[in-house]
Amino acid sequence: QQQVKQSPQSLIVQKGGISIINCAYENTAFDYFPWYQQFPGKGPALLIAIRPDVSEKKEGRFTISFNKSAKQFSLHIMDSQPGDSATYFCAASGGNQFYFGTGTSLTVIP
Amino acid sequence: EAQVTQNPRYLITVTGKKLTVTCSQNMNHEYMSWYRQDPGLGLRQIYYSMNVEVTDKGDVPEGYKVSRKEKRNFPLILESPSPNQTSLYFCASSLWTSGGAYEQYFGPGTRLTVT
């Protein structure tokens, strides 16, 4: 079964808006939660990551919010730009093995 | 330039014909891994390796083999490919400690079609 559940499958946001992608997990042994960005024809690239000992991490316009009790984490993209249009994957790891969400296709309309 | 390279980038083959997809990294990373990406399923881990001669199964290892004879190389072997292995494959590498692997660097992908 899917170890990490991601939603929505696709997202359309106006330029300047906030994009929010959500993920949920069940395995409490997971201790590393990265987000990857993938452009067409390219491999995924690490965007930002969080450990469960903090509830939020911000890097530029990208923020991860982490809710350990709910076993959920989300990516917020502030002031979304057309260049942010890509597929985003959340993931979780408890050591050597990684589990990815099914991906969210983000389109930012100018 | 730090990178993960994969070859070939595109491959069309027939059922049952053995093939190898190569992966090489120049970052002296201990951890390497193979994933397949399928529409609606995201990325699924096939095999991973924590160091030379140390490999383990990921989530979807059936039909695949790997070897890690050198730190920089981690080839993926399909001994008898079947159409359900048609997919986009990614190799990744990362530093590794006893706590696990973290920031993974992905290769450009290999699109495999098995007819």
- Residue of chain A whose alpha carbon sits nearest to that of B96: A96
Task: Label each residue of chain B as H, E or C.
Answer: CCCEEEECCEEEECCCCCEEEEEEECCCCCEEEEEEEECCCEEEEEEEEEECCEEEECCCCCCCEECCCCCCECCEEECCCCHHHCEEEEEEEECEECCEECCCEECCCEEEEEC
Residue A94: pLDDT band by 50, 70, 90 thresholds? confident
pLDDT at B114 over 80: yes
Identify whether the C-beta of residue B97 lies closer than 8 Å to the C-beta of residue B112: no
pLDDT higher than threshold 90 for residue A38: yes
Looking at the predicted structure, is the pLDDT value of residue A14 above 80? Answer: yes
| Average pLDDT score over chain A | 96
pLDDT grade for B100, boundaries at 50, 70 and 90: confident
Q: Which of B43, B100, B101 sits opposite A89 (nearest CB)?
A: B43
Tell me which chain B residue has its CA closest to the CA of residue A92: B102
**Range in A2-16, A76-90, B98-112 the model is least confident about:** B98-112
- The answer to whether B42 contacts A42, with C-beta atoms less than 8 Å apart, is no
What is the chain A residue with the closest CA to B106? Answer: A43
Q: What distance in Å separates residue A5's CA from the closest CA in chain B?
A: 10
User: Residue B67: what are its φ and ψ, rounded to 5°?
Assistant: -145, 150
For the cut 80, the answer to whether the pLDDT of residue A16 exceeds it is yes
pLDDT reading at A90 higher than 80 = yes
- State the average pLDDT over residues B41-51: 96
Please check whether residue B85 is in contact with residue B63, taking contact to mean a CB–CB distance below 8 angstroms. Answer: yes
A7 pLDDT higher than 90: yes
- The pLDDT tens digits for A47-64 are 999 998 999 999 999 999
Contact yes or no for A49 and B103 at CB 8 A: yes
pLDDT at A92 over 90: yes
> Averaged over B6-34, what is the pLDDT?
97
| For residue B101, pLDDT beyond 80 | no
pLDDT at B2: 86
Residue A81: CB atoms within 10 A of its CB come to: 14
Q: How confident is the model at residue B63 (pLDDT cuts 50, 70, 90)?
A: very high
Interface test with A, best of B6, B32, B43, B57 (most A CBs within 10 A): B43
Q: Does B101 touch chain A (CB under 8 A)?
A: yes
**Residue A8: cis peptide before it, omega within 30 degrees of 0:** yes
Mean pLDDT on B10-38? 97
How far off is chain B from A66, nearest CA to CA, in Å? Answer: 17
Which pLDDT score is estimated for B99? 73
Instruction: Give B103's contacts in chain A (Cβ within 8 Å).
Output: 34, 46, 49
Q: How many CA atoms, within 13 angstroms, populate the side-chain half-sphere of residue A76?
A: 13
